[in-house]
Structures are given as C-alpha cells and as structure tokens.
Structure 1
C-alpha cells in the first residue's frame, strides 16, 4: 500500500471544508488534481471514504476512521514547514555578546549552545558596567552581567536571569576555614583584594564594608580573575560571587564563608537594547539567553 502525504492532506482539507472545489482553492490546486488524489487514496484504502451529497461531501464510517490520521499528517507537515521557515529567517550575522568576568565559565556553553540554535556568537569579557555601556552604544548586541548597574532610564532593557550571593573567599587553610558563616568584623584584620572600581561586585562589596563600619587594608588588582588567582596563591581575602569560586571551593583550593550581613544577594542580568529598537537577531539572541538562564537555574 502506497499512500502519499499529499493524498492525506487533500482528504483532510476536503473533510474540513466539505467541498472538493473549496479544498482545491485552499490547497492552490486544480479541482481535477484534488479529485485524482482522493480517488487514488480510496483505491489504496479499498472502500469509499466519502459520498457526494447535494450540500457537499459526507464521510463514510471508513472515512471517519481515517480522518484523525489524515489530520495528524497535515498538522505534522505544517509544523515542519514552520520549523524550516523559522530556521531560514534566523540571523546569520555574528552576534556580539558581552560576558562579565564573574560569569566567564559559562562562555563555552553559550557559544556551543548558540551554535546549536544557529546563532554565531562572538564573546567579549569585561566588567559589568563597561559591558552594559557597550550595549547602550550599540557596540554589543547583549551582555550577561551582575547588577546593580547604573544605566540611564530607557537606554537599555534589563532582564533578571538568575541570582547569586557574595561570599568571603579565603585561601585554603585559612584560620577561619572551619566556619560556614562569619560576620564581616571577623575579617577586619585581613587584606582585601579588589577588582577595578567599575566592577559591580566591587561596588556592592564596598557598600557592605561601609555599612559594617570597616575600612580594611586593601589591594586593587584590576579584575576578578586576578583576584581569584591571588587567592589561589595564598594571598588576602575577597568578597566574590559564589558561582565565581564554586569550582575552586569544590576542589578544596579555596574556602568560602557565608556573610552574616544583609543584602548579600547579587542579580544576574541580561542587558539588551530597548525592545522597541530590537531586530529579529536581537530577539533570537535574547530568547536563547533567557532560556539558557532558566535551564541553568
């Protein structure tokens, strides 16, 4: 038995409209072509599937039994067509994505995941404030950063994709390593290591220390990556996002302490151009990044 999808689609539309002529119009075929498809289908089936009446076409019991299968084939073909059209409409140009230093370990997954969605991503690492500014000026198509960031209202759109918390990161073997939580006062004699002043992590850490009344000795190392490397070499302490040092903690290379302080949460944000100015490529990138954030969460 050789039944074609065209025959089943024609049968499905005729049954829906109750008319061969109207089905031919919808399918953009001639009426003889549709009639020929129905006739071939009936020959394969071995019994009548419909009867012609004065008011149109009426299905036989055999036709009623076949109809759900014909509808399923027609629906599946429409889905395939929609999928192909969607793939063809997706952007082919390289999309520029900024990724905060603190989220840098996501880079490989973002590039490979984007490729699976036919999104060619070119990544730029940097601090959150700088990356958000590059989205505002159009030099980046989107950025994944840590908040808060100070941007003029209406210049960019911010979408929260997750949340982290600041922890105290200490070299392995530090005297406080056995604690799970500690107040900031417990670190008052330590040398704090900082990223640059444009870092959102640096700004939030400064606020926490100010509220705790601490002005510790500190060293500015320029980036979160440099801070992490110094900690691994056994120097100082730092306030860092938990995700940023989770691997080192799991491997026993660093110790982390939860902070007994208010407002230690830190938002993970997707920064995009304003919705009104976004093209198809921005919308595709934004949808991918939001889904990646939900999947990770």
Structure 2
C-alpha cells in the first residue's frame, strides 16, 4: 500500500474535494484522482462517492480514514524535519476545546505545557476551539490529536473517550438586573422573557430546547447567536437573559460584572469528555505529552 496514496486520501477527505486537496498537496488534480483510484482498486471496494463537486466517504472509507491520516501525519512531520522547519526533538500537539470549555481548560492546558517544557521536553501546543461534531471529525481525519468536549460522544473509529467531569447550564444576567438577586428559578418563571442562546449547533442550545419542552416553559423568544462569547456580549448590552455554562463566565463572576442564576429543570447537567486519537495513530512522543497534560489538568481541577 502506497503511503502517498493514503496521504492523498486523507487530505481529500479533510478538504472535501479533489480540487482543494490538490492545492493543499501541491499536485495536479489528475494525480490526486489517480491516487484515489489506485487505492480503491487495491482495497477492492468503494472508499468514496462523488457528490457534486465534492466527495463523501463510504463506510469502508470511514474505516480506512484514521489509518490513512496517521500515515499522512507521519509523512508531513518527516518532511518538516528534513527541510529544517521543525527540529526533530519538538513534539507537536493539536488540542481542541468545545467553545463553552475554553475558560475552564485553556489556562490549565497552557500551564501543563509549560511544566512539560520545564522538565526538559520540547512541546509545541496548538489550542483550537469548535463545536463537538466538528472536533470529532477533526480527530477522525487526523487534524486534531485530542479534545475536551461537552456531552457524551458516540463510539467512533480511532477515538478513545474518557469522562473527566461535568458542566451545568445556568442563566446569565447583568449585575444590575433584578434577577441577579435570585438564587434559583424554575424555568417556567421565565415565561415571556427574552433568552439569548448560542448556535443551534451547540449542545447548550439543545439542552435548553429539551428543558423548555419538558417543563412547558414559554419564553417570549429565544435569540440565537453565534456562540458563548456573543451570548455574553448580548447580556452586557441588556438584550436578554443569557444561557451558558457556568465555567465559561467564571472571570466575569469574580469581577462582579455578571451574575448567574441556577435553573430548576431536568437534564441541564452534562458530562465533560476528553477525546484522544487511539494510541496507534499517535507517535510515541505525542502519547507521552498527552498523558502528561491530562494528568496535570486533572490535578489542577482536583
């Protein structure tokens, strides 16, 4: 099995089309198409289907993808070392966070990376953020090595899931809002109020909708914004009552600018899960660094 063919397959899956992958790889489109055809012939079954200008992986293609991307990652790293772009001793990790977990984990991860380097290692940690489905896809196609996400994750090829804690949905108001004096509210007490929620792509939005349905609560309207930062900005602007995860606004709570109000409704607590690519997709130094970071983050939360 040709390593370059596997690399082309990985990049096509990640980019979504042969044309985009050819640009990324610095190859012609016919060359990339040939790599895919030869790989498919060797496998003996369809790995992808063409859909418009792009492609969609078949079940066999999805099964092959993490292994192909592990080969692609190793080739990219070897080329970087040979060209002098990265010293051989540097370990590179790409770790992503669900948007609502950035406040909770950014500091601990960066402190853990600093401690790792203080022990004589050389780690370059790249932190990213996104919604859980996108992060799972990133782990599968090899563009991410690990992620901390909200919610439980369905078993997926090439990914190990570890529960690491939980988060609870809360309401967010300005310090001068009358609701700031409340310790807790039943969701039905918000009938007629304007709620500001993150994108429907987020777990927080889905938890809110499920709770509204379960309790029969009827807010005046729900404003959908891009993410937790936009929710916070809308609350500052007095546009409504925010819906968020408590840890995301810990800094503002300490400063007293915002207040959280606990909500009485079922299903508002959700697990936090650490996802990593399975060990056989990671280089030994990456495995060592990820284990160190996970332990240090766990100790900081204890």
- Pair in the same fold by TM > 0.5: yes
The equivalent of 2:148 in structure 1 is 144
1:189 pairs with 2:178: no
1:172-228 superposed Cα distances (whole Å, 9 cap, x missing partner): 222222111110011122211121222122222221122112343111111111111
In the TM superposition, structure 1's runs of 4+ consecutive aligned residues that sit over 4 Å from their partners are none
Task: Tell me: CA distance 1:192–1:153, structure 2 relative to 1, closer, same or farther (3 Å).
Answer: same
* Aligned CA-pair RMSD: 2.2
Q: 214-223 or 175-184, which moves further after superposition?
A: 214-223
1:290 pairs with 2:276: no
Offset at 1:107?
Answer: 1.9
Question: Hey, what's the Cα distance between the residues in 2 that align with 1:207 and 1:91?
Answer: 49
Alignment of 1:1-297 (within 5 A): 92-105=90-103, 106-117=105-116, 118=121, 119-149=123-153, 151-216=154-219, 217-291=221-295, 292-297=297-302
Unaligned runs of 5+ in 2: 1-87
Task: Tell me: CA distance 1:114–1:249, structure 2 relative to 1, closer, same or farther (3 Å).
Answer: same
Offset at 1:104?
Answer: 1.6
If the length of structure 1 is used for normalisation, what is the TM-score?
A: 0.63
* Number of matched pairs: 207
The equivalent of 1:51 in structure 2 is none
Q: Specify the SS of the correspondent of 2:233.
A: helix
If the length of structure 2 is used for normalisation, what is the TM-score?
A: 0.62
Q: Specify the SS of the correspondent of 1:189.
A: coil
Note if contact 1:146-1:269 (Cα within 8 Å) is conserved in structure 2. Answer: yes
Unaligned runs of 5+ in 1: 1-89
Offset at 1:155?
Answer: 4.3
